[in-house]
Structure 1
Amino acid sequence: MKLQEIDKTRYRKNMNLLIVILVLSLVGLSLAFGSVLIAIFGATPVPGEPTGNFHLNLLGVMLSVGLCGAVLHHVKERPFFREIYYVWRLKQLHNRIYRKLVKIKAAAAKNDVNALITLLFYYTTLRQVYLLDDNTLTLPALTQDLNRLNAQIDSLGLLLSAEQFTPEMLS
């Protein structure tokens, strides 16, 4: 995956706008779908008793989530979503790496080049995401891990970069 420089202010602005639009869309569409489903398939309300339309409201929520997901999938390559989609894909890769992190660290301790590249990518991009999301709490520990890894790579005389990482290395 090619690393990209992200403009933090643009990323935060677009992300906040997306969250607001997504929440409003989910609420509005859930109410609309639920109302239409109840109007078509709903039970006749009896005063003082529950309507029994919970399943129709739940179906309305599921339809709104599906529609919003389909719209997001359709527009993910647009310029507005460039930074958001890039960070989303990075976070997916972080999850895949994290699930295998114990094995990767063990292989890196044995100077496995693929493991070193994977860790370098993981630490570098994790730092980038932490800075974009203002998650500075764990940044010092991450910086220590990255410095330790760079020292190990230098001591081996290798020229490695995070750009060399490919998702196939996780297999």
Structure 2
Amino acid sequence: MNHSKKPLFKPAMDFNGRPLAVCLEKIAEQKQLLNRVQNSLPADIAEHAVHCVLSNTRLLVYTDSAVWASQIRFFNQLILNDMRAGGHQNILSVQVKIILSATHGSRKRIVRLPSAETVAGIFGQIDDESGDALDLALAKLGRTLRKRLALKAG
């Protein structure tokens, strides 16, 4: 049985390089926008503006952390005015976004247990006779830490 199907994808040679040229033009435009944004910002903040994309009438500026995003947002109007002065009258707003690095979300958290002396010190602070909520919470914490230390040692 012959099932001749039309291929879903064109071979790369059928494109004659045009899609690649379009991508390279977009990249060049984004680099130019980024350069203009970085020139509108103070030098210490500008190095944290890592990428720019024009989306309809909105300029998206990407940065590497929330701290720098808030600093860049402070200069939104200055960036917008500089873009308009540079011939980008169609940009109506600037939005700052955060790019999280691949290692940022995949970092493994390490449990740091206190020393046995610190755990013993917690039990030294507890008044067994009082029904105080803080004493009960400290006792529970002390028991949990003692178990974790025993598991780690054993």
Which TM class, normalised by the smaller chain length? under 0.3
Which structure's relative contact order is higher, taking Cα pairs within 8 Å and 6+ residues apart?
1
Structure with greater Cα Rg: 2
The structure that is strand-richer by fraction is 2
What TM-score do the two structures reach when normalised by structure 1? 0.22
What TM-score do the two structures reach when normalised by structure 2? 0.24
The structure that is helix-richer by fraction is 1
